A and B are shown apart, each in its own frame.
Chain A
Amino acid sequence: MDKSMLGDLGTLPPEDQARMSTMIDQLQIRDSLRMYNTLVERCFTDCVDTFRRKTLDKQEETCVKRCAEKFLKHSMRVGMRFAELNQGAATPDE
């Protein structure tokens, strides 16, 4: 987790800060595991559909790597836009 946000919580008493920090850590761990699972499922479904061998062929492997990388980039972009919307920033309609 990015601990820098705890600076923003600096106005809270230490015990509240610790509690928030624990809460966020737990949420992050749970969410990372969930995202790991769903990403595997997504990339497996999109990239792997022949079962002649028990190892990934080159093409499948490339596909999986691109799929994962692309999803992470997508997720970062969505995170950025989502944060803007949460902060009430209007973005111009292009």
Chain B
Amino acid sequence: MRIGKKEDIDLFSSFLLQSIMAANSNMPTALDKEQIFGMAEKEMEYRVELFNKLTHTCFAKCVEKRYKESELNMGETSCIDRCVAKYWQVTNLVGQLLGSGRPPM
């Protein structure tokens, strides 16, 4: 993840909004709110970690290491798209196998 990339930021917003709005609407005590911010932070860290691993894994699997050009070619591009989709599927599969609907932290 890097500075200036909107896609990265978008990942967080839905979860965060939900939890923090829930925290506010239920008039939480200070402790509840602390917990929710703590959870939101962990969730963000988890997403960043997942994104980084995914990026490194798919780069290693899809991108030609000789660097003859700086553009991604057609083959690499479609490999990347499929790699991301499959990595996601594996993430969900393993999550289910570990016995919870939530991604493992």
A residues in contact (CB < 8 Å) with B: 1-2, 4-5, 8-9, 11-13, 16, 19-20, 23-24, 27-28, 31-32, 34-35, 38, 42, 46-47, 62-63, 65-67, 69-83, 85-87, 91, 93-94
Contacts and interface: CB of A to CB of B under 8 A. Distances in A.
B12 A24 contact: yes
Interface SS of chain B: helix
A4 B14 CA distance: 14
B45 interface: yes
Interface of B: 1-14, 16-17, 20-21, 24, 37, 40-41, 44-45, 47-48, 51-52, 54-56, 58-59, 62-63, 65, 67-72, 76-78, 80-81, 84-85, 88
Contact of A23 (B5, B6, B41): B41
